[in-house]
């Protein structure tokens, strides 16, 4: 009999990554989702096609032993959680507040059983300190110190670092099956080994590590940073695809330089091997260029204010460089590209955003550098923009 994992979110990461890893690890996966049509289709087929796309071609596999429960059926979800061996979320940081009441109800059902065991929750969210954030949400749903103590002692909130790129499914992706999802083949999932309350499950691709902050920051300040820099520059030139943007030699140079500045700061901060991080940068740049993946700039560029938050991929990387005395001019250029996108090319708005939202002080070296690059965006047409930016950063 297979073990059971209850996973909140049957979207791109849920089906495009975690479903594959968990079922290959011997788990039955019960997805929890609020899309009734998706829930019905998963229950009818008990499987879905996953198309793994690489520059060498595509390989389709069937992810089997899955079913689903609607997120609004709190009692049904709680019953599934009560006898599960593993839990997980991939709903987006903003939706965790909607998951918390149902998850708390499930934990309460579990704690009502005789001889209940610890349970771990894989937090597959693009959010720094996702464990602390969800812990606070759950505490607010629990009844008193007794249940809070059970949460602390028997529930592991395990941060993960999602490296697989899974674009939003298109009509072409779905083709003859609305459940089909496409993704790149990359299959490594670092997890915080110190956060588990139960045994760490034997799942293909799972990479337990501690201290885990290094992996969180590596994802955010190298992978997410590079994706953002390439995409906002590509958007400024009117491109559509990530591969199209990174195929521009100027964008490739700028993105590579920004990622390597962040890599140097991370190597200093965590006393890690810079050469290994530089290899990671080269691997990511090659993966960004995967044309078969069909990833769009629209997807990567959305919600620029979140990506310009003080602890997020751009401004957070600037702060890490400043802390470790690493030059960050190429990251400042990428930050300017994101601001240009957010302000629709109106640089007069940018200074206020830098001070109030990004929390970069007016008149600081970082603020001046970003505003200088914004002036280049303002003064240059598309044809000469990138060359002017590169000269300005050199």
Residue 40, pLDDT score = 98
**Low-confidence winner among 1-5, 22-26, 152-156, 281-285 (lowest mean pLDDT):** 1-5
What are the strands of the beta sheet with 27-33, ordered from one edge? 66-70, 27-33, 3-8, 86-89, 119-123, 155-159
Hunting for tokens 């914004």 — which residue is that? 374
pTM here is 0.90
Task: Please list, in sequence order, all residues whose beta carbon lies within 8 angstroms of the beta carbon of residue 373, skipping any fewer than 6 positions away.
Answer: 332, 333, 336, 337, 389, 392, 393
Q: What is the DSSP letter of 142?
A: S
Selected residue with higher pLDDT from 143 and 254 = 254
Q: Please give the pLDDT value at position 263.
A: 98
pLDDT at 57 over 80: yes
Tell which residue, 52, 132, 47, 59, has the closest CA to residue 93: 132
- The predicted structure's pLDDT at residue 173: 64
- Of the pLDDT bands very low, low, confident and very high (cuts 50, 70, 90), residue 56 is confident
| Residue 265 near residue 374 (C-beta atoms within 8 A) | no
CA angle 40, 46, 47 (to 5 degrees): 110
Tokens of 265: 């700061």
The full set of domains in the chain, from first to last, is: 3-210 (3.40.50.720), 214-393 (1.10.1040.10)
169-175 mean pLDDT: 68
pLDDT for 214 beyond 80? yes
Q: How confident is the model at residue 1 (pLDDT cuts 50, 70, 90)?
A: low
Q: Which among 199, 126, 201, 211 has a CA at the least distance from the CA of 160?
A: 126
pLDDT of residue 128: 83
Report the length, in residues, of the chain.
394
**For 293-314, what is each residue's pLDDT tens digit?**
989 999 999 999 999 999 999 9
Confidence grade of residue 379 (pLDDT, cut at 50, 70, 90): confident
Angle made by CA atoms 100, 148, 208, in degrees to the nearest 5: 70
Decide: 90 and 9 in contact? Cβ < 8 Å: yes
Range list of H helices, the chain: 12-13, 19-24, 36-45, 74-82, 96-111, 130-141, 144-154, 171-174, 213-218, 225-236, 242-246, 249-270, 274-288, 297-301, 304-307, 315-323, 329-342, 350-356, 365-379, 382-393
Using 50, 70 and 90 to split pLDDT, how confident is the model at 174?
Answer: low
Residue 300: the pLDDT is 95
- pLDDT higher than 80, residue 54: yes
The confidence band for 353, taking pLDDT boundaries of 50, 70 and 90, is: very high
Sheet holding 47-54, edge to edge: 57-64, 47-54, 181-183
Q: Is the pLDDT assigned to residue 393 strictly greater than 90?
A: no
The mean pLDDT value for 207-222 works out to: 95
pLDDT of residue 159: 97
| Res 140 pLDDT > 80 | yes
Is residue 180's pLDDT more than 90?
A: yes
Peptide bond into 211 cis (omega under 30): yes
Half-sphere exposure of 257 (CA within 13 A, CB side): 18
Which letter does DSSP use for residue 201 in this model?
A: P
Pairing of β 47-54 and β 57-64? antiparallel
How confident is the model over 228-238, as pLDDT tens digits? Answer: 999 999 999 99
CB distance 67 to 30 below 8 Å: yes
> What is each CA distance from 261 to 34, 72, 264, 321, in whole angstroms?
41, 45, 5, 7
Of the chain, the percentage scoring pLDDT greater than 90 comes to: 86
pLDDT at 70 over 70: yes
For 114, list phi and psi in degrees, rounded to 5: -75, 135
How does residue 126 score in pLDDT terms, banded at 50, 70 and 90?
confident
User: How does residue 347 score in pLDDT terms, banded at 50, 70 and 90?
Assistant: low
């Amino acid at each position: 009999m297979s073990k059971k994992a209850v996973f909140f979110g049957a979207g791109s990461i849920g089906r495009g990554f975690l479903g594959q890893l968990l079922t290959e690890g011997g788990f039955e996966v019960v997805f929890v989702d609020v899309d009734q049509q998706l829930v019905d289709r998963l229950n009818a087929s008990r499987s879905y096609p996953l198309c793994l796309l690489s520059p060498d071609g595509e390989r389709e596999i069937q992810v089997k032993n899955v079913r689903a429960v609607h997120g609004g059926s709190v009692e049904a979800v709680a019953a599934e959680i009560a006898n599960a061996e593993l839990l997980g979320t991939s709903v987006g940081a903003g939706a965790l507040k909607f998951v918390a009441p149902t998850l708390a109800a499930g934990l309460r059902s579990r704690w009502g059983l005789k001889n209940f065991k610890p349970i771990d929750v894989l937090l597959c969210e693009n959010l720094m300190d996702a464990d602390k954030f969800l812990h606070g949400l759950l505490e607010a749903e629990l009844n008193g110190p007794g249940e809070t103590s059970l949460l602390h002692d028997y529930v592991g909130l395990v941060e993960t670092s999602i490296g697989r790129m899974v674009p939003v499914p298109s009509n072409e992706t779905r083709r003859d099956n609305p459940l089909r999802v496409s993704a790149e083949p990359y299959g490594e999932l670092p997890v915080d080994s110190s956060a588990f309350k139960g045994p760490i499950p034997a799942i293909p691709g799972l990479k337990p590590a501690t201290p885990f902050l290094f992996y969180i920051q590596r994802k955010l300040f190298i992978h997410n940073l590079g994706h953002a820099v390439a995409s906002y520059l590509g958007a400024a030139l009117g491109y559509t695809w990530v591969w199209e943007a990174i195929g521009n030699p100027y964008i490739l140079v700028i993105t590579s330089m920004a990622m390597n500045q962040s890599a140097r700061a991370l190597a200093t901060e965590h006393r890690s091997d810079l050469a290994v991080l530089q290899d990671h940068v080269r691997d990511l740049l090659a993966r960004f260029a995967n044309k078969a993946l069909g990833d769009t700039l629209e997807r990567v560029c959305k919600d620029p204010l979140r990506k310009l938050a003080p602890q997020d991929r751009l401004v957070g990387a600037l702060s890490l460089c400043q802390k470790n005395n690493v030059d960050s001019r190429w990251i400042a250029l990428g930050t300017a590209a994101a601001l240009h996108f957010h302000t629709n090319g109106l640089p007069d708005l940018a200074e206020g955003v830098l001070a109030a939202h990004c929390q970069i002080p007016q008149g600081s070296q970082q603020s001046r550098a970003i505003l200088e690059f914004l002036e280049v965006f303002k003064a240059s047409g598309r044809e000469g923009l990138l060359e002017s930016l590169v000269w300005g950063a050199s």
